[in-house]
Chain A
Amino acid sequence: MQLSEAVLPAAPGALTLFRRRLARDPLAMLGLTLVAIVVFCGIFAPWIVPYDPFKLSIPDKLQPPSLTHWFGTDNLGRDIFSRIIMGSRIALSVGISTIGIALCIGISLGLIAGYGPRWLDNFLMLLFDSVYSFPTVIMGLTVATLLGASVTTLMFVVILVQTPAYARLTRTATLSLKNSEYVQAIRSLGASPFRIIAVHILPNVVGPLLIIASMDIPSVVALEAGLTYLGMGIPPPAPSWGRILQEGYNLIREAPWMVVAGGIPLIITTLGFTFLGESLRDMLDPRLRRIV
């Protein structure tokens, strides 16, 4: 069990270590704080918003920022601050669910590629590389042209784009584990391939992949906002940040606060996750590197 011990940190010791490292790294602390804010908003949004983010109040439309409306109101008189807080829910749920699905598919395909016959491996790799060579947004536009724009399309695109990366990582790790003396030994003892994958390979792969996947959340959030901005994403009245930006762009002369407000949460989220992710990667680097 040498390898699995090396890859999976013993829980309590590592956690303490992690906490200490985190406390010493100001960038990581900043990242953690920003992420905590976003996650907090995402979870508790309905209870902390000052106004109903969906409540129309046309007489109050396009009010500039004030003490009553911190980020002003939009063209339907809705409180933009409340909508932005509510938007974190959409961003996170789309981010987490799509990455989750992509992880599941990616890991399965990666295991198949890594453990299966050589020709299948080659074929899958070519497929991954080809999907990978579609610039993300352009892939999104192509799919939207064919299937029509909707949340399903949006999620489909994100999953399609993210899956190859996870599959590749899983495959590499599987290949190295498959050829390790340890697994060879178990196999010679007659363990079924399914058992080897489920018990000996999978657990070693999942941990590091989770960390990598969590670092992908900001790019998925940005992608969701971007595609929604281009008009193919979450339908109204859902307060997606991309939609707030898009509505704001159409009123950029009349209500410049709308685009300013729409951009801030995107910046906070991407910065937060990236700062935190970078620091995490640095801390876990030796272990991650072994598998990635």
Chain B
Amino acid sequence: MLLYALQRTGLAILICITSMVMLFSALKLIPGDPATIMLGARASAEMKARITEELGLNDPIPVQLATFFGRILQGNLGTDMWSQRPVTQIVLDNLPYTLVLIAAGLGWAALIGIPLGCYSAIRRNSFIDKFTAVISVGTISIPSFVVAIYLILFFAIELGWLPVIGAGERGDYLDQAVHLIMPAFALGLGWVGYLSRIVRASMLEVMGENHIRTARAFGLPEYRIVKSYALRIAILPTITLLAVAIGGLLSSAVFVEAIFARPGIGKLIVDAANMRNFPVVQGGVLTTVALFALAMPISDILIAWLDPRVRATL
């Protein structure tokens, strides 16, 4: 078990390192003076000198790479070109918003997907089952930015029910929750289908297993069997989904945050990309890659830990 966990984590770390090297070499490979590229239009000679100094651009390449890693290992992602704030701080300020958004998006997906999946499994081939089959395939592919714009158009502009922009008043949790409804829905809709299909499949499998059949033989009501026995196990595979989903969710979050003008890591990167504030882009990207790379081993380990059947094989 421990070995397995170490292996998976090791791979994730290796991926993070490779990504960093790629990002680092990308900056080296593009033509032009990196300091100018990073600073863009308003680069004064002084700022250029500072960034050249800060990034050690005059050192030999291997030294630069070592310094780069050294800084990141210390949790230092560099300094914002303009405000001079540490990028680590900026990323940490924005990250919670994205994580909350993703969690709420998955919440929506679970809220709709799991009941749909259960129902389809119990009433196989019913109209609802067939309908969810279509819906599940359909919602997966619709781009989140189209959903986001349509939601704004109908619920905010036409009906005026929900607020359009921002993350809500600080400290006012109700207001924040209200501001989360639409963005989270736009983000989560695509995963309703996946979730319901996975729940349905694993539910069908679990319902055929011995202990469920025993429970049924004892005459327990069907909904209790589903709720107390089947669903608990059937829900496990959805955790793998989380790992796969997080990359897609982070991508969609870029659009959703941009459209709803919500703070978050995606919007941070978009804005920084527009300003060519490279240290911030770099910090944001590294954080998302790390999130994604680490989500995989975490979910693998979670599954192994939660599911006695998998644990036994390790």
Contact = CB atoms under 8 A, between A and B. Distances in A.
Interface string A131-145: 111111111011111
Interface in B6-35: 11, 14-15, 18-19, 22-23, 26-27, 30
Interface string A208-232: 0000000000110010011001110
Contact of A134 (B19, B133, B140): B19
Contacts of B27: 146
B213 to A, nearest CB: 29
A249 interface: yes
A244 to B, nearest CB: 11
A271 B30 contact: no
Q: Which of B19, B133, B152, B255 has the most CB of A within 10 A?
A: B19
A206 to B, nearest CB: 25
Size band of the A side of the interface? Answer: 35 or more
Interface stretch (A63-71, A176-184, A256-264): A256-264
A131 B269 CA distance: 18
B254 A141 contact: yes
B165 to A, nearest CB: 12
A267 B144 CA distance: 11
Contact of A245 (B11, B140, B142, B145): B145
Interface stretch (A12-20, A77-85, A106-114, A122-130): A122-130
Given A133-B289, A263-B146, A145 B276 contact: yes
Interface SS majority for chain B: helix
A11 interface: no
A275 interface: yes
Q: Which of A133, A139, A222 has the most CB of B within 10 A?
A: A133
B19 A259 contact: no
Interface in A175-205: none
Contacts of B258: 230
B23 A142 contact: yes
Q: Which of A218, A230, A248, A260 has the most CB of B within 10 A?
A: A230
A130 B138 contact: no
Contacts of B5: none
A253 interface: yes
B157 A252 contact: yes
B273 A270 contact: no
A280 to B, nearest CB: 12
A266 B143 contact: yes
Given A248-B149, A274-B138, 12 more contacts: A133-B247, A135-B248, A135-B250, A135-B288, A138-B266, A142-B269, A145-B278, A229-B255, A230-B254, A230-B258, A230-B270, A245-B149
Interface of A: 27, 126-127, 129-139, 141-147, 218-219, 222, 225-226, 229-231, 245, 248-249, 252-253, 256, 259-260, 263, 266-267, 270-271, 273-275, 278
